[in-house]
Amino acid sequence: MITFPDLQLIATISRSKSLSDAARNLQVSPPALSMRLRRLEADLGVRLASRDARCLRLTEEGERLADEGLRLLEQLEELSDSMESSDGDLRGNIRLAAPFGFGRLRIAPLMARFAKLHPLLKLELDLRESPWTARQNCDAVIQIGPISDSSWIAQTLAANERWLCASPSYLKQQGIPRHPDDLGRHRCISIRENDELATAWYTRKGSQKVTLRISPVMVTNDGSVARRWAEQDLGLVLRSEWDVADAVASGALVRVLADWQFESAPILLLVPTRKQRARKLQALCSFLSDSMGAAGRRLRS
């Protein structure tokens, strides 16, 4: 018979890149985990995973067991959440996924504050390059930009304009662009997201709409690196306001073409429809919304 620890084992393996990674997550040694996995495979009479020193991959039977196991574990967790304690304290686990840069800079400090408010909660912040692709393993996801998926409830935590910026020294040397058409003679820094290079910048001013096709002189897949390059006088960068607002406030960067509106990417908190009534997630949603709303007002003041 499949036990609760068996479900935890296969669910953890499904989220892990290697045997040692799964062992760390379960707080056991790799040999102990391997023994448990072999015992489960023997009990079921099927091979659940192929593994070597560097790679751990579920078989088709393993994927099926992991999917069903995750569903059952979530149901047990939801049942536990529905049984409120007499003291009203929040208990249980919350797994939140967020993009690397935004997660480090904005979400990690907020999660630390939330943990102090609710010390009985176990919080996990999973920073990924593309957190939306890992949504099935999380209770909530921070997403920058719109989504279309009816199985998740999207709450806007903050507006997020994109600002075109450069360093004061760069603008002194190269001149300040007064119109989007001026960008053709400027050095532009571009960001590759999800293996796609952004070479089209869309902007508008009233009824005027302009699509800019840029030829970047520097490219990176890390937005923070792109911002630092701009701070080092290497060109213009188009970044989310959450990333450059502090640099603009300090004078390290200057916002240009501020009367033109570039594509925005609102910051969303995504929660599965089936979990939207969980008290702990409602508390997290309210806390992040209040905190980021206040932070957004400070950035604009």
55-77: pLDDT as tens digits = 778 888 888 888 888 778 777 76
Q: How far is CA 98 from CA 115, 130, 144, in A?
A: 17, 8, 9
Contact between 226 and 220 under an 8 Å Cβ cutoff? The reply is yes
If one counts every other C-beta atom within 10 angstroms of the C-beta of residue 55, the result is: 11
pLDDT, tens digit, 9 for 90 and up, residues 135-176: 556 789 998 887 766 667 888 888 889 999 999 999 999 999
Contact between 97 and 141 under an 8 Å Cβ cutoff? The reply is yes
pLDDT of amino acid 227: 94
Residue type, 142: I
Confidence of residue 4 (pLDDT cuts 50, 70, 90): confident
- Domain annotation for the chain: domains and CATH numbers: 1-83 (1.10.10.10), 90-160+265-301 (3.40.190.10), 162-262 (3.40.190.290)
Mean pLDDT of the chain: 84
| Dihedral sign computed on CA atoms, order 103, 291, 238, 210 | positive
Q: Kindly tell me if the per-residue pLDDT of 53 is higher than 70.
A: no
pLDDT of amino acid 232: 96
- As given in the structure block, the two tokens for residue 57 are 């991959």
Contact between 253 and 231 under an 8 Å Cβ cutoff? The reply is yes
Of 283 and 137, more confident: 283
pLDDT of amino acid 207: 87
Q: Kindly tell me if the per-residue pLDDT of 296 is higher than 80.
A: no
- As given in the structure block, the two tokens for residue 143 are 């997403």
Give the span between the Cα atoms of 206 and 269, in whole angstroms. Answer: 30
- As given in the structure block, the two tokens for residue 60 are 């088709």
Of 75-89, 143-157, 178-192, the range with the lowest mean pLDDT is: 75-89
pLDDT of amino acid 187: 94
Of 10-14, 128-132, 173-177, the range with the lowest mean pLDDT is: 128-132
Q: Kindly tell me if the per-residue pLDDT of 79 is higher than 90.
A: no
pLDDT of amino acid 32: 87
Give the span between the Cα atoms of 265 and 158, in whole angstroms. Answer: 9
Give the span between the Cα atoms of 252 and 165, in whole angstroms. Answer: 10
Contact between 141 and 131 under an 8 Å Cβ cutoff? The reply is yes
